[in-house]
Amino acid sequence: MSLTPSSPGDTILPATTGNSRLFSLDVIRGFALFGMLLISIWEFGGFTNNERLFYHTGMHGGNYKLMTIISMIFEGKMRALFAILFGAGILLLLQKKEHPVATSTGDVYIRRMLWLMAFGVLNAFILLWPGDILFQYGVLGILLFGFTRLKAKGFFIAAVVCTLIYCGKQYWNYADDKNDYKKYTAVIKIEKRFKADSTTRAIKDSLDRTKDTVLLKDTLLNNKRLDSMARKNDTLTKKQAGEKGKWEGMVKSLKYDSATTVANNKMMRDSWGKVAYSLMPRSQQRESTWLYKIGIWDIGSLMFLGMALFSIGFFSSRFSSSKYLVIAVVAIIIGVALAWFRIHFQQLKITDYASYIEKQPLPYDMFFPIERIVLATGYASLLLWLVRMNWKLFSWIWKALAAAGQMALTNYILQTIICTFFFYGYGFGYFGRLQQWELYFFVAEVVLVQIVFSVLWLRYYTMGPVEWLWRCLVYRKWLPNKK
């Protein structure tokens, strides 16, 4: 994610080859910033996983088709663009020779990442956005510091390795599910045997009662004692019950639950303290467990790719226009095909996961890491080609996106403030009250506000207010910002 100002010498991407190059990169940042909001708005506005299951498991009407299109085009791809640009910015920052104060580039780099993590904690736990990415980018920025001396080939290899590990993680999770299903079926067989034994005992008890005048009293008591012991043994152990409950809970989580929606909406429309308390586990899981199990490979692969593309001059317009166009067309076609694969098999999983596991050797999301990398690269290439064409008809669009992209960090934080105040209970409380298509209209309004704000702000200042604050904190000095 490009989160730095576009002033000379402090841009996340190089400004040394002319304004057109910097302008095109600002356009990509602005595009990714607003595209990411199209997905984030689902969680901000109450179109939660549970709500989306309603359209997956019900009639596949317009809402399902709209959700599918947005998922295929934007889900995961916009965050991928931010991470790619962030990776390129790592190399650029380390190439920097001059600073506003006497300090080493390494110190500046580490301080930038630490302060970025601090902004992430603020965004997640104070502004209450559990989908925050700033903390994760700061952590990965520090972890990748030791790899920054690699050549382009090394960066590409690292990106491929991280992507393959990420894909392997997806399969590993699926293998765990298959193992859980295998245990579940074994428990079900045991339960069927118990049922058959119970039926046999019932028949035997009936016969014993008809012969109670013949059998001796001691014999009857002994038979009843043996039957009681058999019934006691015909119950699942604690381990077996847990294995059965685990699978049934997983299957239940794939079904829409209206009671969950009602409870979630009520919770999110409450006071700041109660909303913060309810969201804290999600934020903690995202910033810890997910980050260290999945995020390292997910985000790391994209940052390495950004470093590789930077090293071969992809962002500095070294490629011909035709090459950018070819890359865009091929990448987008492959990415959309993979997205269709994911959506199609996700539907099969949600409909009947047991049947899916019995028939499908691979998880539906195994190739999602490749899908998002390919599509993000395709989008970047397409935007670079479009900007290079310099068509006057679209010039105002590029200028608007560039203004927003130049203030990416400010606008990212501002999106959290606007959305949480509008949807959460301590603001207007619209959480869960808008339809899916209405959420996208709200996104359009936020985009318009942020573009106007960015254009007006940059008339008088060199960088956004949060970018300026970040720079002052890093250099430990009150630096000028006015033009």
pLDDT tens, position by position, 67-97: 999 999 999 999 999 999 999 889 988 887 7
Residue type, 331: A
**Residue 111 token pair:** 């301080």
Q: Please report, for the chain, the start and end positions of each structural domain, with discontinuous segments joined by +.
A: 19-168+260-475, 184-253
**Residue 77 token pair:** 């791809």
pTM for the model stands at 0.87
Q: How far is CA 148 from CA 295, 306, 322, 477, in A?
A: 19, 12, 30, 27
Question: CA 461, 470, 116 angle in degrees (round to 5)?
Answer: 140
pLDDT tens, position by position, 451-471: 999 999 999 999 999 999 999
d(CA 308, CA 62): 40
d(CA 109, CA 145): 9
d(CA 236, CA 194): 9
DSSP assignments along 32-95, one per residue? HHHHHHHHHHHHHHT--HHHHHHHHHS---HHHHHHHHHHHHHTTHHHHHHHHHHHHHHHHHHT
Of 431, 449, 410, 448, nearest in space to 42 by CA: 431
Q: What are the average pLDDT values for consecutive 10-residue runs of the chain, which has 483 residues?
A: 38 36 80 96 95 86 93 95 92 84 89 97 97 97 95 96 96 94 91 69 56 52 52 71 90 92 95 96 95 96 96 87 96 96 93 93 95 97 92 89 95 98 96 96 97 96 96 94 91
